[in-house]
Chains A and B, each alone.
Chain A
Amino acid sequence: MQNPYVPAPVEVIKIVTEVDTKDIKTFRFAFLNEEDEAAFQYLPGQFGELSIFGKGESPIGIASSPTQKGYIEFTVQRAGVVTSALHDMEVGAVMGVRGPLGNSWPIDYLAGKDIVIVGGGFAFTTLRSLINYMIHPDNRSRFGKITVIYGARNPGLLIYKDELEAWGKRDDINLNVTVDKGDATWKGREGFVPTVCKEVAPSSENAVTVICGPPIMIRFTLPVFFELGFSKENIITSLEMRMKCGIGKCGRCNVGEKYVCKDGPVFSLAELDKLTKEY
């Protein structure tokens, strides 16, 4: 029997400090065992339990795309015990990953449609995975227009800056990066995510919005998309609840009868409407 509590050993092979405040880093891991790497078949939107023996585990969305071979990446904010221990690690350290866990962004449902990606702050991680997945040459033709609206409080807090620049140069992504407030060197857009969504005004015709960010951003952005004619089936988001087991056993992360770890974290607004409002 596969033991779902046993993490696969991985080595930290790259660490990127993403933001000026230095509390968000992207960790790249390589599996130590080939079998573990082969078994870790994931899709964008899934998460893993990052496991540090002696400290504990944290559920973190997978930030890399399955089209990127040979490693997996996670972008982590320093918060409590486990994430702080992770931030103190150096390249070469060995730790563990359990997963992939949870459902994923509904790739098959997204296929054949225009995709609007809306992200705020560092909750952009699994959206980045989705973007890199969709623009991969093997997949790009499966999706229609791709519009990305991504915002952070200030330029120093934008993550994946190199990729943002590379995406900006492509003509098959409509990329809109915004900051609440710019600084002396910022030449880009200023304004809150909901406002930018209104300005960009993506068509709801055969389109799906995938949205992830702080609750307040989501609260003000949703009305914009309703106005644009997006149905609740076509607005998709990812939930966060405190987790431990990640496999629907420890009883901690349920919203109604669904376990966010096992049945989620991805839900459409239409699905969330059917659940209890307790998250």
Chain B
Amino acid sequence: MEKRLIKKESLAGVIAELAGKMRVCAPMQAEDQVLFRVLEPSERPLVDFANTKNAPKNFLFPRTETLLKYTRTPKGMVAAGGAEEGMKTLFFGCRPCDARSFKLLDMLFDQEKYQDPYYIDKRAKTTVVAMACVHPPYTTCFCTSVGGNPTDSEGADVLLTDLGDQYLAEFITPKGEELLAAFGGTPAGVEAEKAKEGIAAQASSEIASTVPAREAKPVLDVRFEDPFWSTLHQKCLACGTCTYLCPTCHCFDISDEVKRNDGIRIRNWDSCMFPLFTKETSGHNPRPSQKERWRQRVMHKFRYYVDNFNAIACVGCGRCVMACPVNMDIRKIVADIVKL
């Protein structure tokens, strides 16, 4: 693995230059929040930030995405081309939790039996440059409880670690190595590696929240019916914010839109928190209240995903905890489940 030292002041410029050559998505200030978005050519990204309010999944699995196009003929609507091909893309500044989320999404969208060509195409064309959390930004961070780590490179092609006066850049994959020329820098020696080890230990120890996420699975296996579920959901507004901000939530709806003689079939993010999500035409709804929907959300992340992919579908970013308007806290919920 190639390791380089990059001057602090040069990093934003390197990314700005790349933004003229490919699609670059990076953290940017947007009024009072930091959002992950596409840079204009030569726009400089933020390099000092906590984390983005939105998860980067939007650029692999967009909130709204065209699947097919069609056009009217005398016999009916017929296909008129597919979706646009994905562009070569660079994700800059993903936090390690978010970089890890791509691995979790790969498990679902890139399964053996049915492959999702839209996701896979974008994913194949995307290079992930992650930025280690030298000081984990929030008290709600709990990546270490769900298999991640604030300085880990899982899901990243390049990992940057702030060593104080410069960045250590680790070019982890061949895709990452393609960026060597653009990043420049000088070879990193043992000293830098030592420094990173110290930073890594310190960063892990700064994670304030621990959640017994792995212990939840055996309890959930036998507690599908439990009075716990009847009280848990009561203040939930079913707004769906938690699922929309979640880096690993992947549920979607498919719908059609027609203007005059042309139409598209699109998919939009959907949410298991919404009452209509599972409602059938007959009126029957297997998840009739928010109780069943909250149970599904917990079960899906901490039990079913483990059954199907041997991984918890949560990266511990804490977005759902921070953004929920009524302060539902998945950390507390998981801790309570383990006590059942």
Contact = CB atoms under 8 A, between A and B. Distances in A.
Contact of B67 (A5, A55, A248): A5
A152 B280 CA distance: 22
B70 interface: yes
Nearest to A95: B76
A248 B110 CA distance: 11
A159 to B, nearest CB: 18
A276 interface: yes
A57 B254 CA distance: 9
Contact of B79 (A4, A53, A79): A53
Chain B contact surface mostly: mixed
Interface in B248-305: 250-256, 258, 263, 265, 267, 270, 272, 277-282, 286-287, 292, 296, 299-300, 303-304
Contacts of B282: 79
A219 to B, nearest CB: 14
B263 A242 contact: no
B117 interface: yes
Given A54-B263, A94-B78, A278-B286, A250 B254 contact: yes
B279 A242 contact: yes
Nearest to A255: B286
Contacts of A95: 76
A278 B224 CA distance: 10
A175 interface: no
Contacts of B113: 247-248, 262
Nearest 5 CB-CB pairs, A to B? A53-B77, A251-B251, A247-B114, A257-B307, A257-B304
Contact of A257 (B117, B267, B270, B303): B303
A245 interface: yes
Nearest to A53: B77
B77 A54 contact: yes
B271 to A, nearest CB: 9
A80 interface: yes
B252 A94 contact: no
B139 interface: no
A244 to B, nearest CB: 5
A254 B114 contact: no
Contacts of B307: 257
B116 interface: yes
Contacts of B172: none
A106 B240 CA distance: 39
A3 B277 CA distance: 25
Contacts of A254: 296, 300, 304
B116 A249 contact: yes
7 contacts: A4-B115, A53-B265, A94-B75, A248-B114, A250-B254, A256-B299, A276-B224
B304 A256 contact: yes
Best-surrounded residue of A53, A79, A241, A255 (most CB of chain B within 10 A): A53
B335 interface: no
Contact of B292 (A5, A56, A256, A278): A278
B68 interface: yes
B287 A1 contact: no
Interface string B99-112: 00000000011010
